[in-house]
Chains A and B, each alone.
Chain A
Amino acid sequence: MKTEIRLAGTGGQGVILASIVLAEAAGVYEGRHVVQTQSYGPEARGGASKADVIISDEPILFPKSRRLDVLVCLSQQAADKYFDDLKVRGIAIIDRFYVRECPREGTICLPLSETARNELGRELFTNIVTLGAFAQVTRLVKLHSLEKAIAERVPLHTLEMNQQALTVGWKLAANPL
């Protein structure tokens, strides 16, 4: 089975890091075939940013996602641009605060950035909250694998907060408002 996932938002929201953590969790800690790619503008913050992860049981040749099984949008611009790429029965997760107009029914709207702000004190943790929610909704990767990947990929002084963010996201998606 092959699953195509896209995480999209604005530069600075950490979608690329989140995609790397996801790919590492599935690839290194669960032994699946993975490919992670990204595209972004030249600016460090503010431009559009998107990252694709493909998880598969067989070797992945073409590295880009085109018909998405899962789409996560952290900005309105991303939602406007990428919902067309989502399969009819695909799963969509959006940030309730930044995506005001939801392009499709059945979309899972979660207060991802608000939760990061209110429960973890900084919006910076939105990406990892998102990963926790992603794992809960899709069950594509184990929470434990994500924890291990986070430990490898985030700066040490933020590790505890990031682990907490993951759990918060997992719980958030278990009981959507």
Chain B
Amino acid sequence: MAVQLLSGNEACAIGALRAGVKFFAGYPITPSTEIAEYLSRKLPKIGGTFVQMEDEIGSICCMNGATAAGLKAMTATSGPGFSLMQEGIGYSAMTELPCIIVNVMRGGPATGSPTRSSQSDVMQARHGTHGDHPIVTLCPWNVKECFDLTVEAVNVSERLRIPVIVLADEITGHMRETVELPEKPLLWHPTNPRKPRDQYFHYDDSNNYDSNIASFGEGYRIHLTGLVHRKDGFPTNDPEIIKWNMDRLRKKLEDNESWLWDVTFEDLGSETIIVCYGSTARSAMEAKRQYERKTGRRVGILRLRMIWPFPQQRLVSLLKSARRVIVPEMNQGQLNRSIERTVSPDVPVISVLRYDGETLTPEAIIEAL
């Protein structure tokens, strides 16, 4: 391990490579382009494939195809491209193909502010594609975590057979810091043996997650469709099976919440607690540092590394003693509503918002303290 000066986007691309990603399909877009740039140079050298597609709809479908054939695959984009990808995200959820999307957020809606920062895709990451679907969303707050959470995204996506989104933003993506990245990060490998060909069903009750699934080309009978399907993958309109299929998707998250819900925290005994995620967590930590030096009063910090599935029960217990909760976000208020639901109605949840493309400052948070 050597110390390097890297941007978050570069660290993310390196994370993908070290997690075993061998395929990238994408379309360049600020502020995510450096991920594609980096992988376009590296993937061909290690026997991988880089494809620049005609747009982001093509990109995600291309990635889904590569995953169906058994490769670890990824794409990276930003707001407008993320909008185009929604259809493919739903397809990945329904067909239970692993799927990794890095969305380096910029200002929206539409083409918005390409070179400016924002956290306004928080709700889109959860609900962007239609239908009840499982999805995991991870928010890095520094360069090291751009690496760590990309590796985590690959692991979770493979393990649960669901789409995972790394929701970075222009600040974490373009910021450079010195980091030491592990050569061999911990990777998930299926431990259950796969059923023999004549007994294998692609959507068996035994293989909803943590399973050794077959890929195209290995000689197994696999049928993929976006339609609701039976355990053999063929479409059906049978209400009982529709319900079975929907419950199956929901259980991927429900059964795994305990290890999925990932938060870090400090000083939770304090009366005031700042709940934060992504790059605004840096402003929150700085606000805490300055405020405590000045006043001698402690402030709690709770940082969500994973925002979806929302760690509801865990926050309920962690915020039990809070008398005031402050939620800084670079949008018009998106995650604050989920946080409101975790505290009793007499605990004020104060939003500190900024959406002019500039970074939310520690001073703005201190003012609310």
Residues of A within 8 A of B (CB): 20, 23-24, 27-28, 31, 33-42, 60-64, 66
Is A62 touching B178 in the complex (CB atoms < 8 A)? no
Report Cα–Cα, A37/B285, bound state, in Å: 18
Report Cα–Cα, A35/B177, bound state, in Å: 5
Closest residue of chain B to A152 (Cβ to Cβ) is: B5
Is B362 touching A62 in the complex (CB atoms < 8 A)? yes
Q: Nearest Cβ distance between residue B366 and chain A, in whole angstroms?
A: 11
Report Cα–Cα, A37/B31, bound state, in Å: 13
Report Cα–Cα, A41/B114, bound state, in Å: 9
Is B115 touching A34 in the complex (CB atoms < 8 A)? no
Report Cα–Cα, A126/B5, bound state, in Å: 23
Choice from A23, A40, A42, A62 contacting B5 with Cβ under 8 Å: A23
Residues of chain B contacted by A64 (CB below 8 angstroms): 359
Is B285 touching A61 in the complex (CB atoms < 8 A)? yes
Residues of B within 8 A of A (CB): 3-5, 30, 114-115, 171, 174-178, 279, 282-283, 285-286, 289, 359, 361-362
Report Cα–Cα, A20/B6, bound state, in Å: 9
Report Cα–Cα, A121/B283, bound state, in Å: 44
Residues of chain B contacted by A39 (CB below 8 angstroms): 115
Is A63 touching B5 in the complex (CB atoms < 8 A)? no
Is A28 touching B285 in the complex (CB atoms < 8 A)? no
Is B115 touching A37 in the complex (CB atoms < 8 A)? no
Q: Nearest Cβ distance between residue A39 and chain B, in whole angstroms?
A: 7
Closest residue of chain A to B359 (Cβ to Cβ) is: A64
Is B4 touching A28 in the complex (CB atoms < 8 A)? yes
7 new A-B pairs (CB below 8 Å) besides A34-B178, A38-B174, A39-B115? A23-B5, A28-B4, A28-B178, A31-B3, A61-B289, A62-B359, A63-B279
Closest residue of chain B to A53 (Cβ to Cβ) is: B176
Report Cα–Cα, A170/B179, bound state, in Å: 29
Report Cα–Cα, A60/B30, bound state, in Å: 25
Residues of chain A contacted by B279 (CB below 8 angstroms): 63
Is B175 touching A27 in the complex (CB atoms < 8 A)? no
Report Cα–Cα, A38/B175, bound state, in Å: 8
> When A40-B115, A42-B30, A42-B115 are in contact, do A62 and B286 touch as well, CB less than 8 Å?
yes
Is B286 touching A27 in the complex (CB atoms < 8 A)? no
Report Cα–Cα, A172/B359, bound state, in Å: 36
Residues of chain B contacted by A34 (CB below 8 angstroms): 5, 176-178
> When A61-B282, A62-B286, A66-B361 are in contact, do A35 and B5 touch as well, CB less than 8 Å?
no
Residues of chain B contacted by A23 (CB below 8 angstroms): 5, 176
Q: Nearest Cβ distance between residue A48 and chain B, in whole angstroms?
A: 11
Is B115 touching A63 in the complex (CB atoms < 8 A)? no
Closest residue of chain B to A20 (Cβ to Cβ) is: B176
Residues of chain B contacted by A61 (CB below 8 angstroms): 282-283, 285-286, 289, 362
9 A-B contacts (beta carbon < 8 Å):
A24-B5, A27-B3, A28-B178, A36-B5, A36-B176, A42-B114, A42-B115, A61-B289, A63-B282
Report Cα–Cα, A33/B285, bound state, in Å: 16
Report Cα–Cα, A42/B113, bound state, in Å: 9
Residues of chain A contacted by B175 (CB below 8 angstroms): 35-37, 63
Is A62 touching B177 in the complex (CB atoms < 8 A)? no
Residues of chain A contacted by B3 (CB below 8 angstroms): 27-28, 31
Report Cα–Cα, A131/B4, bound state, in Å: 20
Closest residue of chain A to B172 (Cβ to Cβ) is: A63
Residues of chain A contacted by B174 (CB below 8 angstroms): 37-38
Report Cα–Cα, A28/B171, bound state, in Å: 21
Is B115 touching A62 in the complex (CB atoms < 8 A)? no
Report Cα–Cα, A33/B177, bound state, in Å: 8
Residues of chain B contacted by A28 (CB below 8 angstroms): 3-5, 178
Residues of chain B contacted by A37 (CB below 8 angstroms): 171, 174-176
Q: Nearest Cβ distance between residue A51 and chain B, in whole angstroms?
A: 10
Q: Nearest Cβ distance between residue B186 and chain A, in whole angstroms?
A: 24
Q: Nearest Cβ distance between residue A155 and chain B, in whole angstroms?
A: 15
Residues of chain A contacted by B178 (CB below 8 angstroms): 27-28, 33-34
Q: Nearest Cβ distance between residue A156 and chain B, in whole angstroms?
A: 16
Closest residue of chain A to B114 (Cβ to Cβ) is: A42
Q: Nearest Cβ distance between residue A1 and chain B, in whole angstroms?
A: 15
Is A63 touching B171 in the complex (CB atoms < 8 A)? yes
Interface centre among B177, B279, B286, B359 (most CB of A within 10 A): B177
